[in-house]
Amino acid sequence: MVLPSFEPEIPEHCQNHSICEEVPNYPHEYIDQLLQNNATVRNALFLMTGGFGDAIGCKANKDPIKVEVCKSKMNLVEAKAGRDVSGRWYFLVGAQSLCEELCVHPDSPCAQPENKNSPIVVDQGYRATCKQNLIDKPKIALDKNGAIIVLQLPIKGGCCCHVTQKSPVSSYS
């Protein structure tokens, strides 16, 4: 068996993301054989994904008591490649379901002092904006030699309200 290249060819539309569903040189046969011949890898993959991947948790939390400050949307992805925090891309073993929670309006205000019903109030001199939250998820991947590794992938995991102090206005006399 001729070993494939273990450097993913990442399409342009995935370049600004940490995961990619479409990878033209994905080593299907190599990974199929790897999974078929190695029960330990199959079991680890099953356990790491909870048997069902993140799909089971990819539901919007519609708790009537909670107030959504920064709107987000759920996105289920069947990732074939992932990028670690250093920016290096890896093939993921098997189609691993990932649930991303994306900010609908990143950098928009989450505290609106002019609105009396605003769920968030910040003191004067501060600003509150919606920011994309990233969480690390362990996934099984292939290193550059085709060996199995556990990769920590930064996955979009919600939209949070981030409070910062406004820049002080300097006055010169």
Instruction: Report the pLDDT value the prediction gives residue 120, as an integer from 0 to 100.
Output: 77
Interatomic CA distance for residues 143 and 118, integer angstroms = 48
Instruction: Report the pLDDT value the prediction gives residue 23, as an integer from 0 to 100.
Output: 93
Residue ranges per structural domain of the chain: 12-164
End-to-end Cα separation, the chain, in angstroms: 77
Instruction: Report the pLDDT value the prediction gives residue 131, as an integer from 0 to 100.
Output: 94
25-35: pLDDT as tens digits:
999 898 888 88
Regarding predicted confidence, which is higher, 111 or 161?
Answer: 161
- What is the DSSP code string of 94-132? EEEEEEEEEESSTT-BS--TT-TT-S----TTEEEEEEE
Regarding predicted confidence, which is higher, 169 or 85?
Answer: 85
In the predicted structure, residue 83 carries a pLDDT above the cut 80: yes
Query: What pLDDT band is residue 80 in, cutting at 50, 70 and 90?
Result: very high
Instruction: Report the pLDDT value the prediction gives residue 52, as an integer from 0 to 100.
Output: 47
| pTM of this structure | 0.72
Instruction: Report the pLDDT value the prediction gives residue 89, as an integer from 0 to 100.
Output: 96
DSSP H helical ranges for the chain: 28-37, 39-48
Regarding predicted confidence, which is higher, 94 or 59?
Answer: 94
Instruction: Report the pLDDT value the prediction gives residue 59, as an integer from 0 to 100.
Output: 61
Asked if residue 126 lies in contact with residue 97, where contact means CB atoms within 8 angstroms, the answer is no
CATH code linked to domain 12-164: 2.10.90.10
Read off the DSSP letter of residue 145: T
Instruction: Report the pLDDT value the prediction gives residue 110, as an integer from 0 to 100.
Output: 84
